[in-house]
Amino acid sequence: MIERARELRRAMTPQERRLWTHLRARRLAGAKFRKQMWLAGYIADFACPDARLVVEADGSQHANEAVYDARRGAAFARLGWRTLRFWNNEITENLDGVLASIAAALPSPSRAASPPACPSPRAGEGLMLGVSLSAEDDLDGWRDAARALAGAGVPAGEVAWQVGDAAQGLFAAEAPLPPPGPGFSVPRAFLTLAETVICHADPERFALLYALLLRLRDRPGLLADAADPLVQRLERMAKAVRRDIHKMRAFLRFREVETPEGPRFVAWFEPEHHIVRTNAGFFVRRFAAMRWSILTPELSLHWDGHALSEGPGAARADAPQGDPLEAVWKTYYASIFNPARLKVGAMLKEMPRKYWKNMPETALVGELVAGAQAREAKMVEAGARGGMGGNVRAAWESVRAEAMACTRCPLYRCGTQTVFGEGPLDARILFVGEQPGDQEDLAGRPFIGPAGQLLDRALEEAGVDRKAAYVTNAVKHFKFERRGKRRIHSKPDAGEIEACRWWLEQERLLIRPPLTVALGATAARSIFGKAVTIGAMRGRVHPLPDGGEAWVTVHPSFLLRVQDNKEAEYARFVDDLRRIGERAEALA
Ligand code: SF4
């Protein structure tokens, strides 16, 4: 149905296009219209959710479709929507009259601002308001409906949410939706939470989000209450969705298929939640130059190198099995496999067995695990520590080369180049900063500017060998604002940190440092995957899922900026580094 709506949007008739020119962007009486909107199992030509108004532009074929049109109009009316129909020739010959009729059906601003005229039905009377969403992840539809319902003061228990034309509850859709009432604003964090939770597989998610929305009206700070059961539940759901998004990005594997148009890369994936559309942008950016298809039970995505399209769901048998790409993945995986750090439990947790069948490298797991002891003994004998064979160097170089062409976030347009990490690949300590500065950007090396020099001095005073440490940044492109000839540092945002986290994870995966040190809040956010406060985390050991430890301290640039207690702050930083160095020695 969504694909059909998209087709209709692409193939609008000249009359529809003409009418849309006057309806779009709130051009008619300030009312927001959507085109080809899914509603009650039909696709309405144009719809204004705030006014619950459908506008249809009919061609001559509708003269023979009176029964169908009547049924369609009745379905809209059952949900409280009014329908205005116009013949195409009316739009061509009397556009002003058509627009005047539509404007007359829209609520005047004064009416829209008044309290709802129609009282909402009470649950005790057995009446429920039915809301149909166009898809499992229809955030726009949910937001429009929730806004109208909340504005009219409809309690959460009196709304039945459904997706598509799935059967409604017994009394759902018996009562019309109320007219819109006055709006209210919600914290940006709620919208972010809703964007994620809407993708969860739990059918209750729409109702839970709506219940939270109603409570936020009276208590805008509610989201900060970590003890609130509803907030807790929704946060848990968001976490599950984020994890599923990560799994799809990490465990999806393409297989090459020859087609008459050339090679196409096809992957099969079974997400737990409705995350496929949400993840589409990631795969488009990541594999922009390839022609690929991702097949899932719910829907399929197809990228032809220029445009993304959606298709119906598929079965696993529709995806090919095995191709030359497998050799590449297997080589890479074998090169980064470190028998000295083998933890089967952690490995299974990170890479659940359900994904193994899609991943060529998992064919190696049994063999590698079985041979781990022998390989580890060989490594010890060779004096190697931490899996430092030439294979790790080759894998690091190939990851670095790939990062040089990275376009995962808009920052690739900034600065001169990707500034990847550097240092020995068997480093015991991996320092993570925020992002390269002006000098680092030009030289293509991390920590060589004023902050890097201060770090060198502090490490020396702390007795830590800088040459034995690996240094890198959470974000690998220089983000700046231009002021005259100067390029002024600009803080990376959460999306940029998240996008670049992938590269940091690759570095950590290859180096496996016993200690990872976050220098500042951006680095800490990247390492822990969430915002943290330096004050609360500083000076303590934080175990990481891969068995290593994280330490948190300030970024040396803070010490360059700070005015109060400058010397004391520097001394504290050196003390942090001394403790980190001692810990690294103890873990050796
Ligand atoms: S900042 Fe990181 S994610 Fe963004 S383009 Fe540069 S290397 Fe890629």
CATH number at residue 553: 3.40.470.10
Q: Is 499 in the pocket of ligand 1 (CB under 6 A)?
A: yes
- Distance, CA of 161 to CA of 198 (rounded, Å): 12
Q: Let me know whether 238 and 258 are in one domain.
A: no
CATH number at residue 47: 3.40.960.10
Residues 6+ apart with CB under 8 A from 30: 109
* Tens-place pLDDT, residues 180-230: 556 678 888 999 999 999 999 999 999 999 999 999 988 888 998 888 889
Q: Is 497 in the pocket of ligand 1 (CB under 6 A)?
A: no
Domain-embedded: residue 99 = yes
Gap from CA of 107 to ligand 1 centroid (Å): 47
Domain-embedded: residue 391 = no
Tokens 């067995």: give the residue: 353
Would you give per-residue pLDDT tens digits along the chain (588 residues)?
Answer: 445 556 666 678 888 888 888 898 888 888 888 888 877 777 888 998 888 888 988 876 655 566 677 777 777 877 778 888 888 888 888 888 888 888 888 876 533 333 333 333 333 344 467 788 888 999 998 998 888 888 888 888 778 888 875 444 433 443 455 555 566 788 889 999 999 999 999 999 999 999 999 999 888 889 988 888 899 999 999 999 998 998 888 788 788 777 787 788 888 899 999 999 999 988 888 788 788 899 999 999 999 888 899 888 888 777 766 544 455 455 555 554 555 445 555 555 555 556 656 665 566 555 555 555 565 555 545 444 444 445 678 778 888 888 888 888 889 888 889 999 999 999 999 999 999 999 999 999 999 999 999 999 999 999 999 999 999 999 999 999 888 878 899 999 999 999 999 899 989 988 999 999 999 999 999 999 899 999 999 989 999 888 899 999 999 999 999 998 999 999 999 999 999 999 999 887
Domain-embedded: residue 90 = yes
DSSP state for residue 422 in the 8-state scheme: B
Measured CA angle at 473 (ends 469, 478), to 5 deg = 140
Of the residues 227, 245, 263, the one at which a domain ends: 245
Q: Let me know whether 460 and 353 are in one domain.
A: no
Q: Which of 477, 402, 393, 482 is nearest to 442 (CA)?
A: 477
Is residue 96 packed enough to be buried (19+ CB in 10 Å), middle (13-18) or exposed (0-12)? exposed
Q: Let me know whether 453 and 536 are in one domain.
A: yes
Domain-embedded: residue 396 = no
Gap from CA of 155 to ligand 1 centroid (Å): 45
Of the residues 74, 106, 138, the one at which a domain ends: 106
Q: 561: phi > 0 → left, psi -120 to 50 → alpha, else beta; which?
A: alpha
Domain-embedded: residue 112 = no
* Tens-place pLDDT, residues 137-159: 999 989 988 888 888 888 887 78
Q: Could you give the count of Cα atoms lying within 13 Å of 306 in the half-sphere of its Cβ?
A: 0
Write phi, then psi, for 496 (nearest 5 degrees): -70, -40
- Closest-CA residue, ligand 1 atom 7, reads 476
Q: Let me know whether 145 and 270 are in one domain.
A: no
Q: Let me know whether 428 and 570 are in one domain.
A: yes
Q: Is 411 in the pocket of ligand 1 (CB under 6 A)?
A: yes
* Structural domain of 277: 252-318
Q: Let me know whether 226 and 269 are in one domain.
A: no
Domain-embedded: residue 170 = yes
Gap from CA of 413 to ligand 1 centroid (Å): 9
**Best mutation site among 399, 414, 472, 477 for ligand 1 pocket (most ligand atoms within 8 Å of CB):** 477
Q: Let me know whether 302 and 364 are in one domain.
A: no
Q: Let me know whether 174 and 63 are in one domain.
A: no
Q: Let me know whether 237 and 264 are in one domain.
A: no
Q: Let me know whether 489 and 456 are in one domain.
A: yes
- Distance, CA of 104 to CA of 118 (rounded, Å): 20
Domain-embedded: residue 34 = yes
Domain-embedded: residue 388 = no
Q: Is 248 in the pocket of ligand 1 (CB under 6 A)?
A: no
Q: Is 403 in the pocket of ligand 1 (CB under 6 A)?
A: yes
Q: Let me know whether 306 and 184 are in one domain.
A: no
Residue 406 CA, closest ligand 1 atom number: 8
- Closest-CA residue, ligand 1 atom 3, reads 500
Q: Which of 191, 268, 193, 202 is nearest to 235 (CA)?
A: 193
Q: Let me know whether 416 and 562 are in one domain.
A: yes
> How many H helices and E strands in the chain?
24, 18
Report the residue count for the chain.
588
Of the residues 210, 226, 245, the one at which a domain ends: 245
Measured CA angle at 197 (ends 194, 200), to 5 deg = 150
Number of folded domains that form the chain: 5
